[in-house]
Amino acid sequence: MAKALIVYGTRYGATEMTANEIADVLRQEGLDVNLVNLKDEKVKDISEYELVVVGSGIKINRWAKEPEKFIKKHQKELTKKKVALFVCCGSAEPIDEKEDKAASIERARTKYLEEKAAKYDLQPVALGLFGGVYNFNTMGWFFRRSMSAVKPQLEAAGFKETEPGLYDTRDLDAIRGWAKELAQKVND
C-alpha cells in the first residue's frame, strides 16, 4: 500500500476541509494517508512517503507560512518524490462579473502554483486550484471591513451563505475528481 502525506496550512478552515476531502478519496483509492495541519504538528521526516501533497490557503496573494516553510525545509527530498500542490483561494472562483473567469483562474494557477513549484525546483504530478471559504465571522475587523464589498459579488455570482456570514466557493466534486486522478498517478 502506497503511503501519502498531506500537509497544509489554513487560516479560516477551507484548506483543512479540502485536505480532509483529498485524504478521504486517497484512502478510498487504497493509499495509506497521514494528514497533518502544520500549525499543530511539525513533520521531521518524509522518507517513508511515495506521495507528498502540500496545500495552502491564500490570503492577500500569499501562501500560509507553514506550508512554505515545509517546502523549504524538505526541498531537496521533495524534488525526488511525487509531489502535488493545491491552494484554496477566491481567485479559483472569480466573483467579479466584469472579470474574465478563465483568465483569472489561469493567473491564479500561475502565481500560486506554477511559480511556487518553480521557486523550489519541484515537478508536481498535480496542481490543484480550488475555491475558498469566506467566513466573515472569523475575519478580523479591518479585513472584514475591506472585504465587505465582496458579499454582494458572492451572491451575484450565485454563492449563497451556507450559514450566517459563511460563503463556500469550493467545488467538492472537482476536489474529489482531482484527488482520484492523483491516486491513479501514484498507483500506476
In 29-120, alpha helices (H) = 65-78, 101-109, 115-119
Question: What percentage of the chain exceeds 70 in pLDDT?
Answer: 95
What are the DSSP calls for 166-186, one per residue? EEE---HHHHHHHHHHHHHHH
Annotation: CATH topology of 3-132+169-187:
Rossmann fold (3.40.50)
- Enumerate residues 6+ apart whose C-beta is below 8 A from 15: 8, 9, 55, 56, 57, 64, 87, 88
Q: What tens digit of pLDDT does each residue of 84-130 get?
A: 999 998 765 555 555 677 788 888 899 999 999 999 999 999 999 99
Task: Tell the burial category of 145 from Cβ atoms under 10 Å away from its Cβ (0-12, 13-18, 19+).
Answer: exposed
Model confidence at 178: pLDDT above 60: yes
Query: Can you give the residue ranges of every domain in the chain?
Result: 3-132+169-187, 134-168
Q: What tens digit of pLDDT does each residue of 40-91 get?
A: 999 999 999 999 999 999 988 899 999 999 999 999 999 999 999 999 987 6
In this prediction the pTM is 0.89
Of the ranges 9-23, 46-60, 140-154, which one carries the lowest mean pLDDT score?
140-154
